[in-house]
Each structure stands twice: as structure tokens, then as C-alpha cells.
Structure 1
Amino acid sequence: MRRGGAPSGAASAPSRVTALGDRTGVLAGAGAYALWGVFPLFFVLLQPAGPIEVLAHRVVWSLAVCAVVVTLLRGWPVLLRVLRNPAQLALLAVAAVVIAVNWGVYIYAVHIGHVLEASLGYFINPLVTVLFGVLLLGERLRPWQWAAVGTGAVAVVVLTVAHGRLPWIALVLAFSFAVYGLVKNRVGRRGGGVDALSSLSVETMLLFLPAAVTLAVLGASGQATFTGHGAGHGALLAATGLVTAVPLLLFAVAARRVPLTTIGLLQYGAPVLQFVCGLLLGETMPAARWAGFGLVWVALVVLTVDTVRGSRQGRGMSQAAVRPVEPVVE
């Protein structure tokens, strides 16, 4: 935002426009993460459809919504450019597989009543992203960032002991989204960046055939629920496309209007709301589980404060705590 120097009459209108833009961006970002945060309340409405059917419908209807939005925004030239770039297309094929795993595990978690564990996955995702930065990208961490990663590892051990098993849902969600972010960063280096809408469009195109075959098999075997449980149920399954696209478009608005640091801080809103949804859906939180989550939250506070301080001081080490990818999450 420009301050001072110009006559007040000439500068006031542009300043207001700039401020409004910032405010609009923050509201759009908050809205995107809020919608992602309440996804569990939507997915529970899709029962008795099983996770595989829900995932297949989400792919099909997301592609349909993307086609409409791309047409309205006249985005086909950009999309065709991506489709003609073999290197980007290959990377987006990998991203499609990874995000299908992410979506499927998340839907499964909601289906079996493990929303709290799913929220844990998105809480620890920044820690996994930092770890990837060190192991795969050669980034250097400051001492407090190492402390945060170590605290997160202790939290996983505590939760494993509390559950009597690894919190595999949380780990799959965290690692799959970190891999997705890594792949998307590579895409941007192969012929220019790919916006979130184009990325989702290509990924769902690549997943469309397996999804359509899955729905056909479910229908032929009498396991599909799309037409057998009333118009409302079918409409909800079709709405998975809108539910996927709307927060993504809000995020795209935010990404153009606010700093990445702000978006990085807003991203914690989604797992917080997922955590609340898990409690509202009646999931239990024994003392040991509170202890594990508490350690994760401490790690995130340490990581975020240290990273924000580092970015303000201009130090070039890992900024992963506040460096979100273009999300196609949950």
C-alpha cells in the first residue's frame, strides 16, 4: 500500500482501493480455509455412499465444474498450453495420483469417524514440509525449527502409544500433501507456473477415466447409491464438484492479493475447524491424545513464530511453515 508523498486528494482513492483489495484477499483466504475446515460436516451427509464412490463422484463432478469455470474465465488457452507441455503433464499426472490418495484417505477418515486424526494430518503437514525441505531440497533450518520438528516427532510417538498404532491416516495425509506441494513446485519450473484452476482441471481430466470406470462397476454390481437414495442424495454427490472448486477459487483470489506469510498463517484455520468438527461429531479425546495434539500445537507455534521472524529479518533459510502450495485439499 502506498503511503504519503502524494496530495491527499489524489492518493486517497487508490489507497482505499488497495486497502479494499487487501481486505478482500484476507476474507477470501479465510473463507477458503473455513470451507476446507468444515468439509467433514459435508462428507458425513454423503452416507450411505462409501469412500470409493464419493471419491469417484468428486473427480467427475470437479472436472465438470472446472470445465464450466474455465469456459467462463476464458482459460482454455492456458489449459491447452499445459496439456501440450509433456514435462508439466507428466508431473501433473504424478500430482493427480497423489491428490487422489489424499482425497481418498480423507474421505475414508470421515466415513469411519476419524476426523480428529485427519485434522492432525493437516496440523503436522507444515512440519513434514520443513523436513522435506531439508532432506530433498538441501534447505538449512534454524535451531528453533529443528526443535519444532523434533517436538512434532515426539508428538507422533505419544499418539502412537495412546492409540496402540501409528496414526497412519494423519501421516498419509501430511506426507501426501507435502509430496503434492513438492511436485507442484516442480511443475512451475517446467515451462512456467500453472494456476490452481488449471492444475485441478488437468488432474481431474487424468483421473476421469478411472473414476468413470469405478462408477460404472459400482452401478453394474448394485453398489452405487447415486440414483437409489432420492434426489437429495444424488444432488449432494454432484455438489462435491462445487465443494471442491469454490474454496479453490477463493484461495486463488487470496493468493493474488495478500502476502504468502498471511496465507501461511490462515492455513491453520482449516485443521482447527476440522478438529472442532471431530469433537462435534462425538469423537473422544482421552488425556494422552490431548497431550499428543498439545505437543503438535506447541511445535507449530514455535515453527511459525521463528519462520515469521526469520522472514522479517530477511534470512534465506527454510520458510516452509508459511509457504503453502496451491491446495486441492481434503
Structure 2
Amino acid sequence: MPKNTRGVQVKQIAEHLGLSSGTVSIVLNGRGDELRISKETQKIVLDTAREMNYQSGKNQKKNQKTAARRESFCIGVFWNLHYMGGLLGQFYSGFLETIKQYHAEVEIVLQPFEYDHLNLLEDAFSGKRYDGAIIGGLSELDSGYLRENTFEIPIVLINQTLENYSSVYVDDYQTGRQCAELFYRNGHKRAGIVSSENRSAASVLRYNGFAEECRKCGIQLKDEWKVTGEGNGIGGYESVRRMLQCRELPTALFVQTSRMSSGILAALRDGNIEVPGQMEIIAYGDGDFSQYLYPTVTVLHVSVAEMAANAMHLVLTILQNDLHMTLSKLHVTKLIYGESFQEKPYERTP
């Protein structure tokens, strides 16, 4: 193949190979493994680029690089008002950590929305205000709105997976199952669950996984042991105080939002229920704060800062490489033991 001395563009390589420009751009920028492009495809792209005398951005003059790639973006962060607390601060630290790694100027604009009312911000997804969007705290109704619509800008969802949308997520159903399995291994026959009253699509999946595994393991999960409250310490206290009015209590408690843990522990202390002696607890969420409670709480931990960093990474990758595809990143929860639950040694049946 004759070499082109006038400078080959990504589009020309893509057309020659019958691949998308986005795929070729990812390979030439050294991100093929990261975005799961096959070794065979990477080799073909790189070999062809060499044959066509393609020069990477590293070897081009700064003005050529600037002309080929946009270097400033405005990213809208759509955030459920229910989560406007310390959690948002952790997400922002993750966003900023990723932005430092990119040679781009990125403006982050916070766009709050009411629970179940993301649809009121439809104009914000037109592409006139933002180049891309990151959305967190979706309710089931909000998810339904996104599912039924398509938008001009790339959108990355946090802890939610929907067809045609990029996402950074946890396997919430499996997380719920894991908690029930841990209770079963410790010999529990009765379990309860505490959830935020503003249920997200992710929390519904965790609940379903927990309930299904409890059923399989023969663990009772009575309706009166399924309580809800505001997703904070006050909500945790009030919801568990209601549970304590029951004649019979569970011996294990799954807390769907770790931010409720402080109130839950206070309610159990006021009710003279010892943790972990009479009630073992596992919470879901960021485990950093839970290690400063008394007793410390065992957590199925997911780093919100890390999820935010990856969400920003996905949206900037899509924008800088002009990709017309969705990307996803799975986060695996890590079990961090506290004093509220300690797994008992497995005893084999003789």
C-alpha cells in the first residue's frame, strides 16, 4: 500500500477497514484494551495506520491536534434533590480527579431535579446547553422516561443500566442476594430490611435480590419488618422505632442506605436491642463513614468517588473520540467488616 505523505485522517483509515471512526480513534489513542476492543482488530488498525503513514496526535504540532479534537466541554450533572448531601461532594471529587487526566477544559454544571420529575428538564438534553450529561438518583419513573426517549447528547447513568445509555453501575440484584446469603450462613431465620422512602430503581433491584434469596434460604421476611424512612439518620431512627413495636423481631437487618445507619443504631440502643448480640446489621453504600459509628457497621461498600470518576471518564471518552456507541463500567461491591456483623466459621456437617 503506498504511503500518503499529506497526512492521513482517522476517517480514511476507518473507511478503508470498514470500521467506525470511533473504534479506530480508540485504538490509535491506546485505549483498545480498556474499552474491550479485540486484539485482532487493534493489530489490523495499527498495521494499517503505519502503512498509510498515519501520525498520532503526539507527533503532530499543537495546532493540528487542537483542530482535530475539541478541548472544552460543558457537562451537565443531573442530580436528584433527595441526594443533595455529602454524597454529592464525594461525586464531585471523583469528577475532578478524572478531569485532571484529560487535556481538556471541562465545565461542570449542577442541574438538580425532583424525584420522579426528570421529564421536566427535557430541554436540557437538546444539546444546546450541555455537550454531555451524567445522571444520578433515578427513580423507576425517571428511568421509564429515559427508556422511552432518545437524546442528541451522550448520557452516562450512575448505578442504572438502560438500553442505549452508557452507565457506571453495581449489580444491585446480586448485592441483595449476597446480603441474604451472609445472614443465612450465620444461621438467621428472621430478617428485616430498611429502605429509603424515595426508592430508586437500583434499590428496587437490591430489595428483589434480597427477598428472593431469603425465600430460597427459608429466611422469614415479614411485611412488618420491611420499613422505610427518609434516607438519613432521622429516617433510620424513625423507621426502626416503628419496627420495634412488633411482637416478634428479626435477628438480622439489611440497611439499603448506609446514611441511615446512625439513626438505626440509636433506635436499637433506645429499644435495648444489642448489636450484634440480638440484631446483626449489614448496610449498603460507602463504607468510610460507617467505620466511625458505634458499633462499627459491616458494609457492602461501593466507592461513590470511584463511580463518579469512571462516569466522567466515559462521557469524555465518548466526546473526545466522537463515538456513536454506549460504554459501561461494572463496579463490584467489597464487603468491609465492622462490629455489627461478623461471618461465623463455616461448620461442615459430619
TM-score, shorter chain, exceeding 0.5: no
Length-normalised TM-score, structure 1: 0.21
Q: Indicate the structure with greater helix content.
A: 1
Query: Which has more radius of gyration?
Result: 2
